[in-house]
């Protein structure tokens, strides 16, 4: 078993605090690969709210006296006073993130993002954004840098927002399809500077290339290659504005080994050549 957790003011207290609209009191991550069974049981519940996210494997939850076998991409919200019982088996390779929060306006936040006690178990997708956001919350709780309490509130609201977006858009396109496209956009964002083959990527995900391209365009509104090119051009613009790298170096940095081809694409995308773009931005900075 592996655990990574952080607590507000290093306190393990179960509290209801109405001094601010939204307060995060603790956050953590469990990876259950060795213990045969890991059980949490709170018959009287807690004074605060708890949101859990199954990132991988399976988890067994009792919510409102009903048993649920949850898979990756599912969230569970326990309200104050709700009886809590959930357990994980090592054989299921469970990975779970959890967060406790309180505040004077929690119900308003939950309502704004379509979360209610009527549906405390909901599917939100397997976007890589969720582990990143939970990880940021753990780090902020641990380091307590200036403004951390406000940032914690914003990070939790971002989790709510992403969940709401997935549930809303998933009704139109299907959760599985949206998960695949979200996974693809994250992959392209991390690897746009490398040699990328749309066909090879689709096959690596056991998808038909035609199916992948068609659904990607339907959801993102551009083809996968158009999306990759836009990432490359956006980052090239940043390098032209903020570095002294020459055109060849910038072309290589964003994924092109031919600077002439890069320059043609850049001109097509922005309407000017890389050198003209850099000169114009330099003049603007000098005026400022």
Q: CA-to-CA distance for 95 and 58, rounded, in angstroms?
A: 8
- Angle among Cα 219, 224, 225 to the nearest 5 degrees reads 150
Residues constituting the chain: 288
List, in sequence order, every residue forming a beta bridge with 38; answer none if it has no partner. Answer: 88
Domain at 174-288, CATH class: mainly alpha
- Read off the pLDDT of residues 81-124 as tens digits, 9 standing for 90 and up: 999 999 999 888 899 999 999 999 999 999 999 999 999 999 98
- Read off the pLDDT of residues 26-70 as tens digits, 9 standing for 90 and up: 999 998 877 688 999 999 999 999 999 999 999 999 998 899 999
Confidence class for position 281, pLDDT limits 50, 70, 90: confident
Q: CA-to-CA distance for 58 and 68, rounded, in angstroms?
A: 10
Confidence class for position 272, pLDDT limits 50, 70, 90: very high
Evaluate whether 74 touches 163 at the Cβ level (below 8 Å). no
pLDDT, residue 288, reads: 61
Confidence class for position 171, pLDDT limits 50, 70, 90: low
List, in sequence order, every residue forming a beta bridge with 100; answer none if it has no partner. Answer: 26, 50
pLDDT at 286 over 80: no
Q: CA-to-CA distance for 47 and 39, rounded, in angstroms?
A: 20
Assigned token pair, 112: 């704004």
Residues of the chain with CATH 1.10.10.60: 174-288
pLDDT, residue 128, reads: 84
CA distances to 72, 106, 134 from 52, rounded to whole Å, are 11, 16, 10
- Backbone torsion region of residue 284, taken as left when φ is above 0, otherwise alpha when ψ lies between -120 and 50, otherwise beta: alpha
Whole-model pTM? Answer: 0.67
149-167 burial, b for 16+ CB within 10 Å, e for fewer?
eeebbebbebbbebbbbbb
CATH number corresponding to 2-173: 2.60.120.280
């Amino acid at each position: 078993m592996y655990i990574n957790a952080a607590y507000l003011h290093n306190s393990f207290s179960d509290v209801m605090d109405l001094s601010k609209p939204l307060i995060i009191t603790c956050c953590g991550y469990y990876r259950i690969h060795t213990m045969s069974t890991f059980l949490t049981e709170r018959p009287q519940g807690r004074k605060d709210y708890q949101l859990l996210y199954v990132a991988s494997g399976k988890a067994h939850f009792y919510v409102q006296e009903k048993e649920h076998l949850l898979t990756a991409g599912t969230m569970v919200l326990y309200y104050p006073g709700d009886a809590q019982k959930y357990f994980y088996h090592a054989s299921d390779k469970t990975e779970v993130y959890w967060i406790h929060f309180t505040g004077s306006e929690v119900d308003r936040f939950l309502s704004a993002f379509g979360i209610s006690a009527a549906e405390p178990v909901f599917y939100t997708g397997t976007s890589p954004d969720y582990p990143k956001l939970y990880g940021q919350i753990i780090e902020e709780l641990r380091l307590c840098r200036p403004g951390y309490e406000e940032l914690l509130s914003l990070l939790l609201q971002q989790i709510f927002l992403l969940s709401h977006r997935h549930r809303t858009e998933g009704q139109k396109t299907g959760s599985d399809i949206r998960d695949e496209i979200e996974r693809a956009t994250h992959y392209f964002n991390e690897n746009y500077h490398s040699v990328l083959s749309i066909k090879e990527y689709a096959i690596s995900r056991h998808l038909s290339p035609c199916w992948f391209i068609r659904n990607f365009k339907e959801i993102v509104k551009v083809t996968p290659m158009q999306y990759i090119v836009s990432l490359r051009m956006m980052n090239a613009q940043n390098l032209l504005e903020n570095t002294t790298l020459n055109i060849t170096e910038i072309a290589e940095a964003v994924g092109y080994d031919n600077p002439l081809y890069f320059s043609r694409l850049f001109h097509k995308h922005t309407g000017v050549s890389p050198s003209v773009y850099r000169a114009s931005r330099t003049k603007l900075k000098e005026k400022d």
